[in-house]
Copies of this chain bind each other. A is one copy, B any other.
Amino acid sequence: MKMKSEFKKISIIGLGLIGTSILHAIKAKQIEGVTTFAYDVNSKHRDIVSEMKIATYVCDEIHNAVKEADLVILAVPVGSMKTVAISIASSLKENAIVTDTGSTKSSVINDVNPYIPKSVNFIPSHPLAGTEYSGPQSGFSSLFENRYWLIICNKETDNTKKLAKFFKNFGAIVETVSAEYHDKILAITSHLPHLIAYTIVGTASDLEADLKNDVIKFSASGFRDFTRIAASDPIMWRDVFLNNSEAVLEMLQRFNEDLSDLQKAIRKKQGQKLHSFFSRTRSIRKKIIEAGQI
């Protein structure tokens, strides 16, 4: 069944995992009457996307990619949002909607909003979807299926509804939240886990050469999952931590307190305390499975 789009001309800025997945999804879902304009600052990425034939046009200049668009999606690392906003500001069409897919929202609003003309609507968003792979060849059409796509607004408008309807074409579940709340939730569910995974894989790799080789050789369940997470795009994650530092540092402080507690329980051999802590966390997993977010 072909789907109808609320938007006829869509611009995708940034051709990594998210940007190319959106292009794949538009194509795969056979969303009718849509023309896509793709741009990436890296010419090699543009060439790859041209060869993949997933965009109607791959533009060599960013202003050409946005000037006709009624929807512009910024899928670049959050540290690049400001530069991109400045580059596109004067080329945006009146009444166009600009959204982004960044993992931090307060920072993106601060970086993008000042440059968006009054006649254009900036509605930040964030698809809670991803893999440890990055680059133009990592995208796939089903990335957003059954995943939340959060729209950042304090109240719904015709434009946020239009955007929500569009994201639902990809099988996403759309909800609206505030920027502050988003940044807090993501700090604990995504940013802190990534920081921890990066840390532990780093700690392991610092162990002396002999042990290190066997760390890789005998890498058990647990560590393997951490290495997958710690293989995520370094630029994206550098930018996340720089741009959501407040919420991340707050969650990190809570985490450190809890870890100190467990450390003390291990040193003091408090079996009952360890057992009850480990039993409690088990039920969280069950709830996530019930929520269908596995």
CB-based contact A231/B282 at 8 Å: yes
**Chain copies in the assembled complex:** 2
- Chain A 191-214, CB-CB to B under 8 Å as 1, else 0, gives 011111111111111110001001
Residues of B contacting A230 with CB < 8 Å?
278, 281-282, 284-285
Say whether A61 faces chain B, with CB atoms less than 8 Å apart. no
Say whether A2 faces chain B, with CB atoms less than 8 Å apart. no
CB-based contact A215/B188 at 8 Å: yes
Residues of B contacting A115 with CB < 8 Å?
none
Residues of B contacting A200 with CB < 8 Å?
192-193, 196, 255
In the complex, what distance in Å separates the CA atom of A197 from the CA atom of B200? 11
CB-based contact A203/B274 at 8 Å: no
Measured CB to CB, the closest approach of chain B to A247, in angstroms, equals: 11
Known: A277-B198, A285-B228. A254 touches B206 (CB 8 A): yes
Say whether A170 faces chain B, with CB atoms less than 8 Å apart. no
Chain A contact residues: over half helix, strand or loop, or mixed?
helix
- CB contact between A199 and one of B79, B131, B259 (< 8 Å): that residue: B259
Say whether A4 faces chain B, with CB atoms less than 8 Å apart. no
Residues of B contacting A258 with CB < 8 Å?
199, 202-203, 206
- CB contact between A150 and one of B129, B218, B224 (< 8 Å): that residue: B218
Q: Which of A7-15, A28-36, A49-57, A264-272 makes up part of the contact surface?
A: A264-272
Measured CB to CB, the closest approach of chain B to A79, in angstroms, equals: 8
Say whether A293 faces chain B, with CB atoms less than 8 Å apart. yes
In the complex, what distance in Å separates the CA atom of A42 from the CA atom of B251? 41
Residues of B contacting A278 with CB < 8 Å?
198, 230, 232, 234, 237-238
Measured CB to CB, the closest approach of chain B to A112, in angstroms, equals: 19
Measured CB to CB, the closest approach of chain B to A261, in angstroms, equals: 9
- CB contact between A186 and one of B79, B220, B241 (< 8 Å): that residue: B220
Supplied contacts A201-B284, A202-B281, A245-B269, 20 more A-B pairs, CB within 8 Å: A132-B285, A148-B217, A189-B215, A189-B218, A192-B203, A193-B223, A193-B225, A193-B226, A198-B278, A200-B255, A202-B280, A203-B255, A216-B293, A219-B293, A221-B229, A238-B275, A241-B274, A242-B269, A249-B263, A256-B259
- Pairs A–B under 8 Å by Cβ, sample size 25: A188-B207, A189-B204, A192-B203, A193-B223, A195-B262, A196-B196, A199-B258, A200-B255, A202-B277, A206-B258, A222-B229, A224-B293, A225-B225, A227-B281, A227-B285, A230-B282, A230-B284, A230-B285, A231-B286, A238-B275, A238-B278, A241-B266, A242-B266, A245-B266, A249-B263
- Chain A interfacial positions (CB closer than 8 Å to B): 79, 128-132, 148, 150, 181, 184-186, 188-190, 192-207, 211, 214-232, 234-235, 237-239, 241-242, 245, 248-249, 251-252, 254-256, 258-259, 262-263, 266-267, 269, 271, 274-275, 277-282, 284-288, 291, 293-294
